[in-house]
Structure 1
Amino acid sequence: MLKKVSNWVVKVLLKGGLLSPEDYEIYLYGVETALLQSIHILTMLVVGFCLDAKLETLTFIVFYSIIRIYAGGFHATTKLCCYFISWIMISSAILIVKLLPISIMPTFSIGIYSLSLIIVFVLSPVGNKNKPLDLLEIHHYKTIVRKLLLAELFISVFVYFASVRIFCVISISLAFVALMLILGTVQNSKSHKPSVSITFFHNKPAD
């Protein structure tokens, strides 16, 4: 279904003279990726609204996606699997924040944030076989991730004193990025083709 819609969009743009026919496959991949990412975001927003956690959901999406785009990590083998991973992540994040006693939330949040920060700092970027990068690109994305982590750290300090609950969401989002990097590393080792690639929820450098 997604591919059919992507095909239709690209063909309409081609007929309108907005795209070059020679780069059809590139445009098709780009449109399909954009649609998939939109579905992921929409799903997360719906889940957040249903659980009455609008601010928490928006916080998770922003902080998770910004790092994930450049850090990469686990690559789902199917779009359906990718979709369910996004659904599970946001649901888990919101439920943890809602159910975790406020008395232990600061300790919990600082603990997982610190551990996740180290993992993401050391492992990123982790990619997949779809779009490998050369050494210069790896260095480039590593530098971006570390700068983003530094910026996020400063923001998180202020957020912690303003709202421990929102800081907890940021910590969980970083924990999921770390988890995706670990799973991505394992995935690459099993395929015997370690690589770094590029997307959003599932890969850029390395859905």
Structure 2
Amino acid sequence: MIAFLSRIIADFLCRKNAIPDDNKEICAYGYEVLFFNLLNAPVIFFLGILLDKLIYSIVFFLIFAVLRQYCGGFHAKNTIVCTFTYIISYLFIVLLAGFDAISEIYTFSVCKWWCYSIIVLTSQNNNKSL
């Protein structure tokens, strides 16, 4: 559905000569990523409200968006697997960071380890340079 809508927008922009035909696929992919992120944000924020961790959710969303922009990321075969992986990552970080018994230093270390792991795991992406 998201891919279909993205292709329609890219076709429309090509017909209006807003983008060249050579860039139609790139434009469609860009809109697909944009729509996917716009759909994932409410899911994360809803989970944050549900878990009473909205501030953690906002921080996670901002850090994850920047990290993914510069490092690439895990490329799932479909959007369902991608969304599931995203939610699992969110729950792992937010629930670990939310334990009151864990000191702030430990929480920071876990978040730093997670960010480092993501960078190492995504460093093989040939389309993004670190």
Matches within 5 A, 1:97-136: 97-98=97-98, 100-102=99-101, 104-112=102-110
Whole-angstrom distance in 2 between the partners of 1:21 and 1:4: 17
Could you give the per-residue CA deviations for residues 101-141 of structure 1, whole angstroms, max 9, x where no partner exists?
34x322412433xxxxxxxxxxxxxxxxxxxxxxxxxxxxx
- Residue 49 of structure 1 aligns with which residue? 49
| Counterpart residue identity of residue 9, structure 1 | I
TM-score (norm 1): 0.53
| Percent of matched pairs sharing the same residue | 19
Larger RCO (CA within 8 A; separation ≥ 6)? 1
Whether the 8 Å CA contact 1:44–1:87 is kept in 2: the answer is yes
Contact 2:72-2:125 at 8 Å conserved across structures: no
**SS state of the match for residue 12, structure 2?**
helix
Letter in 1 for 2:107: S
Count of aligned pairs between the two proteins: 130
- Structure 1 runs not aligned, ≥5 long: 113-171, 186-193, 199-204
- Asked if structure 2 preserves the Cα contact closer than 8 Å seen for 1:48 and 1:57, the reply is yes
The correspondence of residues 132-147 of structure 1 with structure 2, limited to 5 A, is: none
With over 3 angstroms needed to count, the CA separation of the structure-2 counterparts of 1:3 and 1:68, relative to structure 1, is closer
Q: Distance in 2 between matches of 1:88 and 1:9?
A: 31
* Residue 64 to residue 3, structure 1, CA distance change in 2 (3 Å): closer
Q: How much does 1:12 deviate?
A: 2.7
Q: How does 1:1-207 map to 2 (within 5 A)?
A: 1-98=1-98, 100-102=99-101, 104-112=102-110, 172=111, 174-184=112-122, 194-198=124-128
Q: For the aligned residues, what is the CA RMSD? A: 2.5
> Normalization by structure 2: what TM-score?
0.77
Cα 1:184–1:105 shift into 2, 3 Å: same
**CA contact under 8 A between 1:47 and 1:90: conserved in structure 2?**
no
Runs of 4+ in 1 over 6 A off after TM superposition: none
